[in-house]
Amino acid sequence: MEIIRSLDEIQNIGKTAVALGNFDGVHLGHQELIRETVEQAGRDDVKSAVFTFSNHPSGLIPGVKAVKSILGDDRKAELIEEMGVDYLFDVPFTEELRDMEAEDFVKELLVERMNVKDAFCGYNYQFGARAFGTAEILEMYGSKYGFDVFEMPPFEIEGQVVSSSLIRLLIEKGCVSRIKTFMGRHYEIEGEVVVGNRLGKKLGFPTSNLELNEQMAAPPNGVYTTYCLYNGRRYPSITNVGIKPTVGEFDKNVETHIFDFDKELYGKHITVEFLKKMRDEQKFDSLEVLSAQIVSDCEAAKEWFSDANKE
């Protein structure tokens, strides 16, 4: 898959089938839309493409609260590539794009740059200045400029419309065990392991620490049953998200203790998959009480993994 990160780089593109949207989370609804795009590209013998933004448009809309992202750019690109897409147009959302009239957006970007033959979008897709463009408006311009438009209806699972907003809400409420139902995979946080205060090691439970990006959605403070992915392997683990109130007050971060693991991971890249919230973060009266609670948490997490493996 070729990744193009600026509009100026989109040149001499052959005919395309393009999926349009933000695709934050690449949830099951997004996957269905992308899958249909790739299949149509095959039928029409054109290249498949995804057109999205590297930053959420809400950050440049006056009066609108900036939306936090579910996935980083690299992970989003990786998931999209796995679906067989030929081009990923992952460009910054700028004030120029925000203020571009809907027809100019279609004519200058989709038609002249991306050479669109087929455009795929969700039922609630919006584009252009003042969000004037809708799926219906896109169909009108498709007739004018000679490309087909395929509008995807609401994608439902268990009677619930799947959306990035729903997944953000589940993350923010700590309902991580529900997320796989709608994303097709566990919610995850990834990054480079940084040096912490080494308290876990002193207590006999060494941890790998990740800093949280303020622009990314994050779960509430608490203890979670997790998997830690490192070097191609998935390790059962337990993770604390929070500020470590028993030993002071620190910036919110992610601390993962990997069971039966003795490698040093400072500077290494890991991914933490969140499976279940066990309890809220607490302030304990002493380090001894904290240590006893960690022992209890680890035993409960190991029992959960043992039961899960029996299913």
Instruction: Tell me whether residue 236 is exposed, middle or buried, using C-beta atoms within 10 angstroms of its C-beta: 0 to 12, 13 to 18, 19 or more.
Output: buried
Mean pLDDT of 132-157: 96
In a domain, 103, yes or no: yes
Mean pLDDT of 117-141: 94
Total residue count of the chain as it appears in this document = 311
The reply to whether 19 and 93 lie within a common domain is yes
Number of structural domains (the chain) is 2
- Domain range enclosing 87: 2-160
> Residue 125: pLDDT band by 50, 70, 90 thresholds?
very high
In a domain, 175, yes or no: no
The tens digit of pLDDT for each residue in 89-120 reads 999 989 999 999 999 999 999 999 999 999 99
CATH number at residue 274: 2.40.30.30
The reply to whether 26 and 70 lie within a common domain is yes
Per-residue pLDDT at 251: 87
The reply to whether 14 and 153 lie within a common domain is yes
d(CA 182, CA 290): 35
Per-residue pLDDT at 196: 66
Per-residue pLDDT at 131: 84
In a domain, 207, yes or no: yes
The reply to whether 196 and 149 lie within a common domain is no
In a domain, 22, yes or no: yes
Flag whether pLDDT at 60 surpasses 90: no
> Residue 246: pLDDT band by 50, 70, 90 thresholds?
confident
The reply to whether 156 and 190 lie within a common domain is no
In a domain, 276, yes or no: yes
State what percent of residues in the chain have pLDDT above 70: 96
